[in-house]
Structures are given as structure tokens and as C-alpha cells.
Chains A and B, each alone.
Chain A
Amino acid sequence: MSFTIRPRLSRILLVLPAFVFALTAMGCGGDGGNRISGKITFQGKPVPAGKIYFIPDGSKGNSGATGYADIKDGSYDTSSGKGAVKGAVTVAIEGFDPSQAGEKEKGDTSGEVTVKSLFARYETKLDVTGSMTKDFDVPAEAGKPGPRGETNIVQP
């Protein structure tokens, strides 16, 4: 005994739009979480490259996976990375200018090419209420050297 499964083309065509809609609604690409997107500027100019993170704030009792997205030409969208959890999160932003060379660690003889970091890792707080758009402007102070001359990493 044998079965031949031959779904009719018309039936597939009927179901396909619903399937595509379901995928879109789930925000495929990012694996879960709330989709957040927006613009990133530093001193009013778009940040050419970098990364943004949405880290659950453990000091406020929030937990879960960290959301993230690449920053490209001043915009980010977690649908290409990972969505953020709801509630209190720490937003961390790192920005780079790939067209400029970066600083070297003292004693580095590797000869590697590095790119310039625009500002120290900038952190701010956000309450994620759901999928949302949110623009961030990194203040000019973030680009100034720290107390020991560090330009890469700073605690706001």
C-alpha cells in the first residue's frame, strides 16, 4: 500500500500569504525579544559603524538575553541581531569610524591595522515597553579622554 501526497497548487497559494504574514509578525531574523530600531548620532552626526546592546538591568531585577544590533550609517535595527527583553535595560553604544586609523596598544608590534573609536562605550538607561523606535544621541563628553587619558572606555 502506498500513499502519494500531492498537495494541490491552489491550496499552497492559499496558505502562503498567511505563512509569510506570520513570519513578518514574529520579526524573523532576530530570535525573539522586542524589536527596537532607530538612529544613532554623535555630536549630531550619524555614527558610521558600531554596535548597540540592550542589557537587562540586574540591579532593577530584570533578567534575560541581551539584545543587540549593528549600527550602520547612523541606523540600527535589532531585527538583524537580537531583540530586547521588556523592562529596565542598560543601553550600551559603541561607535567607530572605519575610514580612520585607531590607536595602538603600547608595545604592539603585530602590525595590524585598527580603526578609530569615536567615543568611549556610552551607556544609558531605557525602559523597554515593547517593540519600539528609539533614537540615541551620544553626547560630546563621551568622546573626551577619561581621567587617565583613556579614550576607548569610560563609565558615564
Chain B
Amino acid sequence: MQVGGLGGVSTHYYGLMGPNARTTDNFRLTYNGQTFTYRIGNPTTNGGYACNGILQQYRDQPGSITTRHVVRLTDVLDGTSNTLLLGERSVHLPSGINDYRSWTRGNNGGSGATKNIAYPINSTNYNGSNNFNDISMGSNHTQGCNFARADGTVVFLRQSMDLLILQMSATYKDGELVSINN
């Protein structure tokens, strides 16, 4: 049963739209002394839509949400083994919180199928207000959750990993080659 996108049908694997820092568009992250700038579409609501991941909903920069945007293997300049494609979110939620939605919900009031990387693994549930697209990946496995990389492999990442590394790994062509590890 499903009411308004809520209820029994839940999605536990989300596409990654890229990094978000819950600030305005053009936010910056510094890694190894180099600064990268990231775009966020519609940043005023629900955490916005990150534009630098493989399964983003824009064409690399804010505009109107678009369908049929294709990122090819050869577009993944950071390397398919260095880029995260999907993340797991299968957390047993405390009562009163429900942030699972079905993929078929699409974009109605936040994305049902894709998420930004804004918080560490297993840290952040829906706050009931404005972080719906930003909720953290996570699971009830011990201390972390699974991610799929663009090369098709699955990796278990620990929740104690540096958030910066996780965010950098969610981008596909900004030129930083972060090897995904804990």
C-alpha cells in the first residue's frame, strides 16, 4: 500500500547526484590543497539537487530538471573505479520518521530515486523540513553501508570515513582522483 509516496513500498538503493554541503550553489571543497567548486540546483528546498554526480538530474549545472541525460563510461574522467554510482540506505528508522519513498514517486517534493552526498554515512535522517535529498546513506550493517561504483563493483564503506572523501568520490569528472577506501 502506498499513500502519497509513503508507506510499504520503499527504495533502499539510491542514485547519487553528487556532493552537497547544504549551502548555496557553487560551494567549495578543498582536498589536498586543491579547491573544487560544485553546483547545486534549486538549493532553497529539500537540500537541492547536486549537479556533479553520475545520476544527477541536471546537465552538470542548474537549469530545468531534465530527463534523458546520459553520462557515458567515457565521460567518467575521474575513473569508474573512483566514482560512486549508487548508495544503500536501509536504516531501521526511529518512530515518527519516514524518509523512504518509492522510485515511482519521481521528483514530487524532493527526489525519490536519487540523493545528494551531504552527510556522513549513518548520521542523518529526514529532519521533517528541508534535507530530504540530503539524508545520509546508511544501513544496519555494523559501522557502514554498501556503495556501487561506476565500474560495477560494490564496496563497503565505513561510517568513520572522511566525509570529504565520500563527497569527492561522488563526482565523476572534476579531475580529482580519490581512491575510494576507508
Contacts and interface: CB of A to CB of B under 8 A. Distances in A.
| A and B co-occur in one complex | yes
Interface of A: 31-32, 49-51, 53, 55-56, 58-59, 61, 63-66, 68, 81-82, 92, 94, 96, 98, 102-117, 121, 123, 146, 148-155
Interface string B11-33: 00000000000111001011101
Nearest to A58: B30
B5 A110 contact: yes
B71 interface: no
A64 B108 contact: no
What range describes how many residues of B lie at the interface? 35 or more
Interface stretch (B72-80, B126-134, B148-156): B126-134
Nearest to B98: A112
A65 B109 contact: no
Given A152-B44, A155-B24, A114 B123 contact: no
Q: Is the interface of B mostly helix, strand, loop or mixed?
A: loop
A114 B129 contact: yes
Contact of A155 (B27, B123, B143, B163): B27
Contacts of A102: 128-130
B22 A115 contact: no
